Amino acid sequence: MTRRTFIASLGGLSVAWPFMSRAQQAMRTVGVISTASPMTTTFGVLFPKLMKQYGWEENQNYRTIFRFAEGNIDRIPLLANELLGAKINVMVALGEASIQAARRATKTIPIVGISADMVRTGLAESMARPGGNLTGVNVLTSELDVKRLGFLHEAVPAAKRIGILALPDRAFDTVPELETAARQLDLELVVNSVRRTDELAKGFEDLQSGHVHAVNVLASSVVVPARSGIIEALNRARLPAIYHFPELAEQGGFMAYGPRLELSYQLVSRLVSNILRGARPEDLPVEQPDRFDLVVNLKTADALDVKVPPALLVQADKIIE
């Protein structure tokens, strides 16, 4: 059941432009680089729908070229160079690894990135003036890692040994903050790092051998494209887990807290539209979602034999029954 409707995604966004200059009528090319695969990302489906709201018709006045790393972040620099060879007008970089590769590949082609926090990781100079050829969207997934730990503790108070699934070389590392929060909650953390999707199976084995009672799944360039497999594996192991995007709880995860992907993609699409109309990326402030949803999946909770306290349920924006 929905306690609050999803209202922030369209508020304050610019409307479609009904008229275009002759220059704008020329076919533009948007290159998209992602750590995911075509089957595990919703960006390819949502992007043309969102661009249409701003007056852009795919294959009429713009086209999109995708390059997917299929979970192998070592391939991303090569894919970024491939996009540059296609004479793109703007590059959309999904994830920190993609943004870093895009910045190394070009200093002139505009880049619209989406990551945890581009300012704190040093990718952008500031929110208001990102600098260089980059702007984008902060989804604040890492900033909320500690809050997710708190929600997980509320949901499963008997779980005292919490697994952390993370990327080892994240530019934005919140493990120290998580360890501080864990001590305050009298919890013990077991941090398990994976760099590639083919390391996930061992990661799950390590979590189970570490005798964890629940898992906080941190957003990363490995976790996002492999989210369906991660949800299935943790549910199969009967480990309640909290995820970074609400959609993951809707896909079967135990619970999730953070900004909705569609809202983040809406902000990305608006920035791309503005750049295609002539705006310079350095003049476009870095944006961030202004709504964060807590979703609890009671169907999954029942399957895991977890009784979620009513005090937590009243905080949820959506409960799946």
- The residues facing 193 across adjacent strands are 166
Question: Using an 8 Å Cβ cutoff, are 295 and 317 in contact?
Answer: yes
Report the C-alpha gap between 233 and 237 in whole angstroms. 6
Model-level pTM? 0.83
Residues of the chain above pLDDT 70, percent: 88
* Pairwise pLDDT comparison (22 vs 162), residue with the higher score: 162
Q: What CATH number labels 22-139+260-283?
A: 3.40.50.2300
Tokens describing residue 163: 């697994």
Band (17; pLDDT cuts 50, 70, 90): very low
Band (11; pLDDT cuts 50, 70, 90): very low
Q: Is the pLDDT of residue 201 over 70?
A: yes
Tokens describing residue 192: 């398990």
Q: Is the pLDDT of residue 176 over 90?
A: no
| Cα separation values, 317 from 70, 137, 191, Å | 32, 23, 29
Model confidence pLDDT, tens digit, residues 236-260: 999 999 999 999 999 999 999 999 9
Report the C-alpha gap between 16 and 95 in whole angstroms. 27
DSSP 158: T
Report the C-alpha gap between 126 and 115 in whole angstroms. 14
Question: Using an 8 Å Cβ cutoff, are 72 and 200 in contact?
Answer: no
145-258+293-320 has the same fold as 22-139+260-283: yes
Report the C-alpha gap between 297 and 255 in whole angstroms. 6
Rounded mean pLDDT, 24-29 = 78
Tell me, what's the pLDDT at 80?
A: 97
Helix (H, G, I), strand (E, B) or coil at 137: strand
Q: Which residues of 73-100 are buried (b: 16+ CB within 10 A; e: fewer)?
A: bebbbebbeebeeeebbbbbbbbbbbbb
> In 171-316, which ranges are continuous DSSP H helix?
175-184, 200-209, 227-236, 246-250, 261-276, 298-303, 310-313
The domain limits of the chain are 22-139+260-283, 145-258+293-320
Helix (H) or strand (E) holding 217: strand 214-217
Tell me, what's the pLDDT at 292?
A: 95
Q: Is the pLDDT of residue 60 over 60?
A: yes
Q: What CATH number labels 145-258+293-320?
A: 3.40.50.2300
